[in-house]
Amino acid sequence: MAYEQWGIGIVGLGGISNMHLTAYRNAGLQVVGGADIDPARVETMKVKWDLPIATTDVESLIAHPEVKIVDVTAPHFLHVREPIFRLAAKYGKALYVQKPLEQYYASARKLVSIAEEAGIPLMVNQNSVFVPGFQVIERYLRDGAIGTPYYCQIENRNWFDLSGHPFYGKGERWVLSDMGVHHLALVVHWFGSWRSAYAIMGRDPSQKGVVGDTWSVMNIRFESGMQACIINNWSYFGHLRRPHSVEEVVIQGDGGAITATSEEVVIVAQEPPAEIRPRFTGKWFPDAFSNAMLHYIQALDEVKPHLCSGRHNLQVVALIEAGYRSAQEGREITRAEIMGEDA
Ligand SMILES: NC(=O)c1ccc[n+]([C@@H]2O[C@H](COP(=O)([O-])OP(=O)(O)OC[C@H]3O[C@@H](n4cnc5c(N)ncnc54)[C@H](O)[C@@H]3O)[C@@H](O)[C@H]2O)c1
């Protein structure tokens, strides 16, 4: 089937759906329409994007025969997403879901079970995995350009006023679950299964729009021996910001180092000595969004496995869960503790 025949129905016509629409239009994909529970959003987005279907009736969009993929951009809470998953299951549609799948492991597990029991495909839109600059890093990592990697550090520090946002930061979990998840998914993709994690985190009281964590430092040990430190600090007033989507990535290996953002990648290799600055096109926004959906459609079309499946993403949500549990209990948490038989 041609890629444009994989009709997309977007459920949730809020902020990030604009990026989805930009990416899909750039890639020539077919958006059948969108649905939102807020009639004002429906009207605004219908006009802005000239959507063929824009409705408050979520079920009618999911049931539409041309909708093959339900693209969930409604907030990442079980009470919001479970009914959407059940509708996708009822009509046998593939699910594609914005990160985080859910903030809590038990809830994410439930969502994955709904998809698996219905036999419908589920991909989590962990767009960090599809960022052009990060795909370049991955190529050099896999080629052994820096030897065997042993340490990765990702640092994202900036200030955001979230006072006006309807749900970001309004629950007990925020910066690790909602922003750090980009980096957690990336390191799980690059370095494989994690073994244990230790985190510290806190809340800057001047960040009035956030109830939960506004900074977190997550140390992760992987089964391979690789170790990583993921810093998400959205309470930083200083002058050297590393804002999302140009957070700093450092990877050290026994034969060199990669220092990068999503827009610039520098590899310094020791043997033979070389400094490599690969040229590439594309940025996180919107290119990672089109790359991710194109990957999913290709896999669905060819009936092949895809990256960031719901089942695989449980490892990522388990890392989130481990981070909060570790910070609360002041100890290292293993993957087996969180995932049990799923580990
Ligand atoms: N870089 C990224 O990948 C990225 C960036 C921003 C947001 N996100 C994720 O996208 C999701 C949405 O974030 P946002 O910033 O667009 O939020 P938003 O509040 O701007 O939009 C969410 C929309 O969903 C609608 N909605 C709520 N419940 C619904 C339901 N049951 N059915 C249909 N629509 C419903 C709301 O009315 C709203 O219009 C979140 O999970 C967030 O983590 C990802």
Give the distance (Å) from ligand 1 centre to CA of residue 75.
Answer: 4
Does residue 156 have its Cβ closer than 6 Å to ligand 1? no
Does residue 36 have its Cβ closer than 6 Å to ligand 1? yes
Q: Residue 216 corresponds to which amino acid?
A: S
Q: What percent of the chain has pLDDT over 70?
A: 100
Report the pLDDT value the prediction gives residue 331, as an integer from 0 to 100.
98
Report the pLDDT value the prediction gives residue 161, as an integer from 0 to 100.
87
Average pLDDT over the chain reads 97
Cβ neighbours of residue 17 closer than 8 Å, sequence gap 6 or more: 10, 34, 45, 73
Does residue 314 have its Cβ closer than 6 Å to ligand 1? no
| Pairing of β 265-269 and β 274-276 | antiparallel
Give the distance (Å) from ligand 1 centre to CA of residue 12.
Answer: 6
* Measured distance CA(342)–CA(280) in Å, rounded: 38
- The CATH H-level (homologous superfamily) assignment of domain 3-127+286-309 is NAD(P)-binding Rossmann-like Domain (3.40.50.720)
Which atom in ligand 1 lies closest to the alpha carbon of residue 285?
1
230-248: per-residue pLDDT in tens?
Answer: 999 999 999 999 999 999 9
Does residue 19 have its Cβ closer than 6 Å to ligand 1? no
* Measured distance CA(137)–CA(149) in Å, rounded: 12
Does the domain at 129-280+317-342 match CATH 3.30.360.10? Answer given as: yes
Identical fold, 3-127+286-309 and 129-280+317-342: no
Q: Give the pLDDT mean for 95-121.
A: 98
Does residue 127 have its Cβ closer than 6 Å to ligand 1? yes
191: pLDDT strictly greater than 90: yes
Q: What share of the chain is helix, strand, coil (3-state, %, to 5)?
A: 40, 25, 35
Report the pLDDT value the prediction gives residue 61, as an integer from 0 to 100.
99
160: pLDDT strictly greater than 90: no
306-317: per-residue pLDDT in tens?
Answer: 999 999 999 999
Q: Which two tokens stand for residue 150?
A: 């042993």
Which atom in ligand 1 lies closest to the alpha carbon of residue 74?
24
Q: Give the pLDDT mean for 31-58.
A: 98
Q: Give the pLDDT mean for 130-146.
A: 97
Domain boundaries, the chain: 3-127+286-309, 129-280+317-342
Q: Give the pLDDT mean for 137-141.
A: 98
Q: Which two tokens stand for residue 310?
A: 């719901």
According to DSSP, residue 227 is labeled: E
1: pLDDT strictly greater than 90: no
Q: Which two tokens stand for residue 341?
A: 């038989």
